Amino acid sequence: MKIGFIGLGNMGAPMAANLAKAGHQVTGFDTAAPMPSGVTAADSAQAAAQGAEVVITMLPNGQILRTVADSVIPVMQAGAVLCDCSTVDVDSARAVAGQARAAGLAALDAPVSGGIGGAQNGTLTFMVGGEQTAFDTVEPLLAIMGQKTVHCGDSGAGQSAKICNNMILGVTMIATCEAFALADKLGLDRGKMFDVVSTSSGSSWSMNSYCPAPGIGPNSPADNDYKPGFAAELMLKDLNLSQQAATSADADTPMGQLAQQLYQRFVEDEDGRGRDFSAMLPRFTSRGR
């Protein structure tokens, strides 16, 4: 398949490389990042999109997505699919999908979960919104880049699933870090706490698979001085999106709002920028020192 890939940063580059490795003809464009192995460089987003059966984007935010869509939609061939794998606001996803349909194209919003490691290993999870026919076209490509794909519904449903998932993740990571900090104050051994909680009603992905306490449970960024697997500023971005969506939908999300406020303080006023989102643990344990 002839694929245009726009946005070749930490996530996009390995995703595009995996498609090329699988034998697809991938033409890429990025304003700054180098081309990954097997990907042919284009000198513009329009050049990457021309003649492509599927154009995949992996971009920082909704405004950039809208700008790129304005650029590439007019040059895409009729019937092609614009598949955005960025994490953006639901309104931008739906606006771009409408713009694509008006131009005789199909569109999907297909944000991912799994981080840089998942992109490199082809083990991402895709949550997809858009028409079934477009999903059927792109699903074989998503299967190369990931290990699970869920068609969540119409346009915007993929982004909705992503921000709901990551709101849960942000809240549970804070609760997990608070619990370890409380256990420390109470004199409870961290290993013993993990053994209990990871097999009890308090278990969660944040505890069992991504434990924020160094030396406890499976290897995680906590064991690498909190170098980011998922950076705190990216968690803040997703929590901002969840609260933007909550306001738009008139949804009551007090825990999500509080998590957003705590990560905003952590990233903007404390030492969270450039650290993993699980570095909330030393943030809580250092209280009072």
Q: Which helix (H) or strand (E) holds 16?
A: helix 12-21
Q: Looking at 162, 192, 227, 237, which residue is catalytic?
A: 162
192: annotated active-site residue: no
By DSSP bridging, strand 146-153 and strand 124-130 are parallel
Bridge partners of 41, per DSSP, are 28
E strand segments, the chain: 2-6, 25-29, 40-41, 54-57, 81-84, 106-109, 112-113, 124-130, 146-153
Residue labelled with tokens 């405004």? 63
The answer to whether 235 touches 186, Cβ cutoff 8 Å, is no
At 108, the amino acid letter reads L
The burial of 138, by beta-carbon neighbours within 10 Å (0-12 exposed, 13-18 middle, 19 or more buried), is given as buried
Distance CA 36, CA 19 (A): 11
Judged by DSSP in three states, 276 sits in: strand
Residues acting as catalytic residues: 162
